Chains A and B, each alone.
Chain A
Amino acid sequence: MTDTMINEKNLIEGRTGKWEVVLGLEVHAQVTSHSKLFSGAATDFGAEPNTQVSLVDAGFPGMLPVINQICVEQAVKTGLGLKAQINLTSVFDRKNYFYADLPNGYQISQFLQPIVGKGTIVLDLAEGEHREVGITRLHLEQDAGKSLHDQHPSKTYVDLNRAGVALMEIVSEPDMRSSEEAAAYLKKLRSILRYLGTCDGNMDEGSMRCDVNVSVRKVGDPLGTRCEIKNVNSIRYVAAAIEHEARRQIEVIEEGGSIRQETRLWDPGKGMTRAMRSKEQAHDYRYFPDPDLLPLKLDAAWVESLKANLPELPDAKRARFVKDLGLSDYDAGVLVAEKESADFYEAAAKGRDAKLVANWLTSELFGKLNAAGKSITESPVSAEGLGELVGLISDNTISGRIAKDVFTEMFETGKPAGQIVEEKGLKQVLDTGAIDVEIDKIMAANADKVAEYRGGKDKLFGFFVGQVMRAMGGKANPAMLNERLKSKLAG
């Protein structure tokens, strides 16, 4: 990403001119696996404290780590999904620091030789704009336990369930220039992780956490001093924290001050960041290769086989929806953003009019789900059910107008479209004879209007359509009705 790509709308107006915000993100994504990175203990969320702890996790004397191959596989898959370089040799290091929830007094991480190197991720921005952001690296590391400070007036309790759980730390290049881009980055990364099944991406359960590096500069200046904001655990907060931190930094500089390199904490209650520790107070982690573990060597053929079996990812899926199914880039983007929506769409569109299914899904179903506060996986209308409804429209069994009523009932009762149409007799009338009979009746009853129409008052055509449709309970095929009415009114 070149620094010369300035987007005017991203610039922040200060007292002394326009400022550019420069952002890099570090995401900790919990690897989806049944057991921890170096032990066999379980990783289920929400278990009773200290029930998922092995002697290895608790750092007992003489305990040794053994790498979990599944976690390695998940990291490599993620690297491949980020179009990144996979390092066939990587090294686990010890990051040494003392804390009560870090049983060994060190965290096993990867420092100089991570398992995954440089990659890229494409952001989907407003108005169909796309932008590429660089991935610096991805490495595997252990999570720490949890300190509970609110259980006792003077003591801290420690829960080691999370200690040793595998995390992927995914570091971006400082390529983002606005809170929107940072939010788009997180959404896209989460989407890729979910497509791959390597992390569930649930920020509220802490299985995806984010630290944001923020700096500001005048356009064209070299990079400013950055602050790292920790503890921003929702996409909304990431955007808010960036907005606040950028303004804070601009104010400091414009007041004649300078930015200290420091770690800051996002306080969601107050909606602001506050200093946690400065560079001078930063830990000396004394990294060195963990002598309990051999360098991690990957077989090139194994990596290739993972690559060959990678699921279709959102970018490729969107491109296919546009090219093969004729969807607009926008609709395709909306459908592929969440894997569940894309899966739903593909199941619904099977053997149906793909564009029509896309319209029904993005406007009708998403609208109703939003209103009901439900996700696509909780939809009362199944993918097959939506497909059936679209099928009934396509083969002229029902009209689009009737279909909306049928759909509302499907959403409320969960009944299949065919059954509703059958029960309520909503089938479209395709018999021209039957339509002609109704047209004749209406024309006879409105002879004056027929005369006016024939006298040149074209606008009355809509009146006749409405009258006939109402008489037929809305079931007349609209195209046929139009055609027959036009011909009869013409005399």
Chain B
Amino acid sequence: MTDLTHLTIADALDGLASKKFSARELTDAHLKKMSALKKLNAYITETPEKAQAQADASDKRRAAGGKVGSLDGIPLGIKDLFCTEGVQTTAGSHILEGFKPTYESTVTTNLFNAGAVMLGKLNLDEFAMGSSNKTSYYGNVINPWKRQGDSTDLVPGGSSGGSSAAVAARIAMAATGTDTGGSIRQPAALTGTVGIKPTYGRCSRWGIVAFASSLDQAGPIARSVEDCAIMLGAMAGHDPKDSTSVEMAVPDFRKGLTGNIKGLRVGIPKEYRVDGMSQEISDLWAKGAAWLKSQGAEIKEISLPHTKYALPTYYIIAPAEASSNLARYDGVRFGQRVPGNSLDEMYELTRAAGFGKEVKRRILIGTYVLSAGYYDAYYLQAQKVRALILKDFTDAFKDVDVILTPSTPSAAFGFHENEGDPVQMYLQDVFTVTVNLAGLPGISVPAGLDAKGLPLGLQMIGRAFDEETLLRSAQVLEKCANFTALPAGV
């Protein structure tokens, strides 16, 4: 029998439907591999009993011949930012260690209603703040990819680094992620996987530990565009419990994958040709445009003039919202508490012990930019720039249907590279943050390997709530790139 962990979701669903293997077998294959690959540290909490019970239930549904869900029997990893009923939910932070929610997030509820199986909770940067997974209290996640002839451990990207590493290492068929500034697309690019951040409002944020509420959006990481389409279809939908979730029908994304992009207008934003961009990235970008052109698309250069302000704008808005969102972790009602002689002292001791360095840094930045006397200069100004960035895209989408850019400025890096200067790390998100600021859908597709044999991704950006066109275009790009490389040892 072939290694079931290498199947795509689409193939696994066929196999399950034709009874080639059971959901239990599929799940057990993954659980076995999880044990073998513990060194990757992709999971914070493994839930094998729950997984087996869900898989058995799925097998029963199939045996009964009744209706099955769109992900029935498919084993998934869940980013540990999604609250899961009765299962520890940490957000990668010490302050939530041991916290077991009494409720299930809307997205995981949707997935379970579609028949999905949960293998466990995936590691991430603390409160989703980071681009390398190094800020997790629960340790680094190791990227299954290595540079050729070099055994240095590399980062899996972040913040959804557990998700990307698990999907690349075949210890989850797909995973949920969240993306506030690139946290799905950047790790997908660094691990040779596909990751889509849908339009803001497409997936409910209810039950997801908040980082920056106006930017956070859930989405999947999987091994093909088609699998992302299946996953997103199950995750998305209006939720009355989230006021920012949009009341709009979810299209059948999988059905929309026609492979036809004749006449599609693809924009190449000139501002994304940043200083110091490597030749490899530049070449890959050009190759991507050529592939799409070969399939009947029209390539147009476009301008997104406010791009250079996106990163500073993001690093005002996201920390501002985070500083407020994280105020609830005060030791009073849940999570860690360090006792003190007064209420203020308890707050100080609890938060000093509970939060890591990067989280503290962002709380400080956020508190500063919202303070009296600085609000107008920072936060208000950032909101104005944000509106201009959105306008850039709105104008551009008058002339094009999708936009093509690199996903990241580089391939995966070592744990001690990009260290010291936090701004160097923030630059990882230079191509992805604009999309969050504008609330648009963006997808990263593996498009090739760099000189050292590490995967590189190309990003496509679509119109708001037009994930169908985006996924269709991305799948054509995926076919052209024909990315078949595997990380060593997987």
Q: Which of A57-65, A343-351, A407-415 contacts B (4 or more CB under 8 A)?
A: A57-65
Most chain B C-beta atoms within 10 Å of own C-beta, residue among A59, A103, A284, A288 = A288
Query: Which chain B residues numbered 234 to 269 have a C-beta less than 8 Å away from chain A?
Result: 240-244
Q: Say whether, besides A62-B105, A284-B372, A292-B213, A100 and B324 are in contact (CB < 8 Å).
A: no
Say yes or no for B210: interface residue by CB 8 A criterion.
yes
Q: How many angstroms between the C-alpha atoms of A94 and B210 in the bound complex?
A: 15
User: Would you call A156 an interface residue if the criterion is a C-beta within 8 Å of the partner chain's C-beta atoms?
Assistant: yes
> Is B206 close to A, CB under 8 A?
yes
Of A55, A60, A64, A104, the contact of B327 (CB 8 Å cutoff): A104
Task: Say whether B207 faces chain A, with CB atoms less than 8 Å apart.
Answer: yes
> Complex: how many Å from CA A292 to CA B211?
12
Look across to chain A and name the residue whose beta carbon is closest to the beta carbon of B351.
A98
Asked if B367 is at the interface of the complex by the 8 Å CB criterion, the answer is yes
8 smallest beta-carbon distances between A and B, as pairs: A105-B327, A291-B214, A286-B370, A291-B213, A59-B328, A62-B207, A61-B209, A62-B83
Whether a CB of chain B sits under 8 angstroms from the CB of A158 is yes
Do residues B328 and A66 form an inter-chain contact, with CB atoms below 8 A?
A: no
Q: Establish whether residues B320 and A288, one from each chain, have CB atoms under 8 Å apart when the complex forms.
A: yes
Q: A100 is contacted by which of B103, B332, B375 (Cβ under 8 Å)? A: B332
| Residue from the list B209, B343, B379 in contact with A288, Cβ < 8 A | B379
Chain B residues with Cβ under 8 A from A286's Cβ?
A: 323-324, 367, 370-372, 375
User: Which B residues, 317 to 363, have Cβ-Cβ distances below 8 Å to chain A?
Assistant: 320-321, 323-324, 326-328, 330, 332-334, 343-344, 347
Contact B328 A104 (CB under 8 A): yes
Task: Determine whether B202 belongs to the interface, using a CB cutoff of 8 Å to chain A.
Answer: no
Q: How far is the CB of A171 from chain B (nearest CB, A)?
A: 20
Beyond the given A62-B206, A62-B207, A288-B324, please list 9 additional residue pairs across the A-B interface where CB-CB is below 8 A. A59-B328, A61-B210, A64-B242, A98-B327, A286-B370, A287-B375, A288-B370, A291-B212, A294-B243
Q: Which of A62, A63, A104 lies at the interface centre, i.e. has the most chain B CB atoms within 10 A of its CB?
A: A62
Tell whether A469 is near chain B: CB-to-CB under 8 Å: no
Residue of A with least CB distance to B206: A64
The residues of B with any CB-CB pair to A shorter than 8 Å are 82-83, 89, 91, 96, 99, 101-103, 105, 205-210, 212-214, 240-244, 320-321, 323-324, 326-328, 330, 332-334, 343-344, 347, 367, 370-372, 375, 379
CB distance from A120 to the nearest CB of B (A): 32
Of B206, B244, B333, the contact of A294 (CB 8 Å cutoff): B244
Contact with B along A64-102 (1 / 0, CB 8 A): 111100000000000000000000000000101011100
Decide yes or no whether A444 CB sits under 8 A from chain B. Answer: no
CB distance from B76 to the nearest CB of A (A): 19
14 pairs, CB–CB < 8 Å, chain A vs chain B: A60-B333, A60-B334, A61-B96, A61-B101, A62-B82, A62-B206, A63-B206, A66-B243, A96-B370, A98-B327, A98-B330, A288-B370, A292-B244, A293-B244
When the two chains form their complex, are residues A61 and B327 in contact, meaning their CB atoms are under 8 A apart?
no
A100–B370 Cα distance when bound, in Å, is: 22
Determine the distance from Cα of A62 to Cα of B208 in the docked complex, in whole angstroms.
5
A111 to chain B, nearest CB (A): 11
Which residues of chain B are near A62, meaning CB under 8 Å?
82-83, 101, 103, 105, 205-210
Beyond A284-B371, A292-B244, whether A105 also contacts B343 by CB under 8 A is: no
Chain A residues in 8 Å Cβ range of B327: 96, 98, 104-106
- Residues of B within 8 Å of A287, CB to CB, are 370, 375
A106→B243 contact, CB < 8 A:
no
CB distance from B196 to the nearest CB of A (A): 21
Residue of B nearest to A102 (CB): B327
A94 vs B320: C-alpha distance in the bound complex, in angstroms? Answer: 11
Smallest CB gap from B209: residue in A: A61
A417 to B236 Cα, complex, angstroms: 71
In the complex, what residue of chain B is closest to A67 when comparing beta carbons? B243
Q: Is B324 a contact partner of A64 (Cβ separation < 8 A)?
A: no
Write the nearest CB–CB distance from A438 to chain B, whole angstroms. 82
List residues of chain A with CB within 8 A of the CB of B379: 288
Complex: A312 Cα to B98 Cα, angstroms: 57
Asked if B243 contacts A293 (CB within 8 A), the reply is yes
Q: Is the CB of B83 within 8 A of A61?
A: yes
Inside 8 A of B375's CB, which chain A residues have their CB?
A: 286-288
Cβ of B159 to closest chain A Cβ, rounded Å: 16
Asked if B328 contacts A55 (CB within 8 A), the reply is no
List the A residue with the shortest CB-CB distance to B102: A55
Assembled-state Cα–Cα distance A65/B245 (Å): 12
Give the residues from 100 to 139 in chain A that come closer than 8 angstroms, CB to CB, to chain B. 100, 103-106
- Indicate if the CB atoms of A59 and B324 lie closer than 8 Å: no
Is the pair B333, A103 in contact by a Cβ cutoff of 8 Å? Answer: yes
Residues of A in contact with B, size category: 20 to 34
Q: Please tell me if the beta carbons of B367 and A105 are within 8 angstroms of each other in the complex.
A: no
A288 contacts across to B, CB distance below 8 A = 320-321, 324, 370, 375, 379
Question: Separation in Å of the B421 CB from the closest CB of chain A?
Answer: 27
Chain A residues, CB < 8 A from B347: 98
Q: How far is the CA of A64 from the CA of B334 in the complex (A)?
A: 17
Q: Name A96's closest neighbour in chain B (CB-CB).
A: B324
Contact at A60–B213, with CB atoms within 8 Å? no
- A63: chain B residues within 8 A (beta carbon): 206-207
Q: Would you give the shortest CB distance from A159 to chain B, in whole angstroms?
A: 13
Q: Mark A302-321, 1 if CB is under 8 A from B, else 0.
A: 00000000000000000000
What chain B residues lie within 8 Å of A293 (beta carbons)? 243-244
Contact B330 A291, beta carbon cutoff 8 Å:
no
| Min distance, Cβ A67 to any Cβ of chain B, angstroms | 7
Is there contact, CB below 8 Å, between B243 and A65? yes
Chain B residues closer than 8 Å to A64, beta-carbon distance: 205-206, 241-243
B330 to chain A: which residues have CB within 8 Å?
98, 100, 105
Complex: A96 Cα to B372 Cα, angstroms: 12
Chain B hits for A58, CB < 8 A: 333
Chain B neighbourhood of A106, CB < 8 A = 324, 327
Chain A residue nearest in CB terms to B105: A62
Contact A105 B96 (CB under 8 A): no
* Complex interface: chain A residues within 8 A of B326 (CB): 105
Residues of B within 8 A of A104 (CB): 327-328
Say how far A325's CB is from chain B's closest CB, in angstroms. Answer: 49
CB distance from B439 to the nearest CB of A (A): 12
Q: A62-B83, A291-B212 are in contact. Are A103 and B332 (CB under 8 A)?
A: yes
The interface residues of chain A lying within 8 Å CB-to-CB of B334 are 60-61
Query: B338 CB to closest chain A CB, in angstroms?
Result: 15
Q: Which residues of B contact A103 (CB under 8 A)?
A: 328, 332-333
Q: Is the CB of B241 within 8 A of A66?
A: yes
Chain A's nearest CB lies how many Å from the CB of B210? 7
Residue of A nearest to B215 (CB): A291
**Residues of A close to B89: CB separation below 8 A:** 61
Residue of B nearest to A105 (CB): B327
A284 to B96, CA, bound (A): 27
Chain A residues with CB under 8 Å of B96's CB are: 61
Could you tell me the distance between the alpha carbons of A319 and B243 in the complex, rounded to whole angstroms? 45
Name the B residues within 8 Å of A94 (CB-CB).
324
A67: chain B residues within 8 A (beta carbon): 243
Do A61 and B91 have beta carbons less than 8 Å apart?
A: yes
CB neighbours of B371 from chain A (8 A): 284, 286
Which residue of chain A has its CB nearest to the CB of B240? Answer: A66
Task: Report the Cα distance A55→B102, complex, angstroms.
Answer: 9
CA distance in complex: A293, B241 (Å):
11
Contact A291–B343 (Cβ < 8 Å) = no
Residues of chain A contacted by B324 (CB below 8 angstroms): 94, 96, 105-106, 286, 288
Answer whether A61 and B328 are a contact pair too, CB < 8 Å, given A284-B371, A284-B372: yes
The answer to whether B333 touches A59 (Cβ under 8 A) is yes
Residue of A nearest to B326 (CB): A105
| A182 vs chain B, min Cβ distance (A) | 30
Q: For the complex, what is the distance from the CA of A60 to the CA of B334, rounded to whole Å?
A: 8
Q: Cβ of A100: which chain B residues have Cβ within 8 Å of it?
A: 330, 332, 343
Q: How far is the CA of A411 from the CA of B30 in the complex (A)?
A: 84
- CB neighbours (8 Å) of B344 from chain A are 98
Q: Which residues of A contact B321 (CB under 8 A)?
A: 288, 291
Q: Give the contacts of A18-67 with B (CB-CB under 8 A).
A: 55, 58-67
Residue in A63, A103, A104, A294 with the greatest tally of chain B CB atoms within 10 Å: A63
- Near B by CB (< 8 A), chain A positions 355-386 give none
